[in-house]
Amino acid sequence: MSRTTDKVKAMGDCAVCGASTLLVVVPEWEVPGSATKPAVVVQAVECLECESCGERYLEPEQVRAFEKKVIEAQRAAKNLLSAAEILQIRESLGINKERLEKILNLNPKSFYRWENSLSIQSDVVDTMLRILRKNPNAVYALAEERHIPLTALKGRPKKAG
Ligand SMILES: [Zn+2]
């Protein structure tokens, strides 16, 4: 069912089948695809797995780490920019998240979610970010058109207050 890289017997019984066969594993995890997301296999985080019935047990922290890995794998499978690349593009523009969301007319928290792998950018957004990476002046022109001051830009003096 899954290749395990690490097997250590854990204390306790399986809540599903009742067997005392819980192991600490780092499973290769097959995540099915959907209409918009490709199926991926991720080298998942450490968790407990029942050797008898296959049930897996994750702490909330492990679930979050797992979900981030899935999102990164789905991005890679679709050839989308990674979280690190999006952060790099935004930082190279020298504009903070909130201001750049206003300039590009995006929902609040968009960059926070993309840069922390909490959600995947759309294909259109991905293309837009690639264009901005090549043509940063387009952002500055758009800010001017939308009357959004760029005082947060790198190297420019910050207005008091
Ligand atoms: Zn079980």
Residue 58 CA, ligand 1 centroid: distance in Å: 14
DSSP single-letter state for residue 22: E
Query: Burial of 137 by CB count in 10 Å (0-12 exposed, 13-18 middle, 19+ buried)?
Result: exposed
If pLDDT is split at 50, 70 and 90, which confidence band does 4 have?
low
CA 64–ligand 1 middle distance (angstroms): 23
- Looking at the predicted structure, is the pLDDT value of residue 123 above 70? yes
- What are the domain boundaries of the chain? 8-60, 83-145
pTM for the model = 0.79
The domain defined by 8-60 folds into Ubiquitin-like (UB roll) (3.10.20)
> pLDDT tens across 8-58, in order?
777 789 999 999 889 999 999 999 999 989 999 998 899 999 999 999 999
CATH class of 83-145: mainly alpha
For ligand 1, the distance from its centroid to the CA atom of residue 51, given in whole angstroms, is 7
Question: What mean pLDDT do residues 94-119 have?
Answer: 96
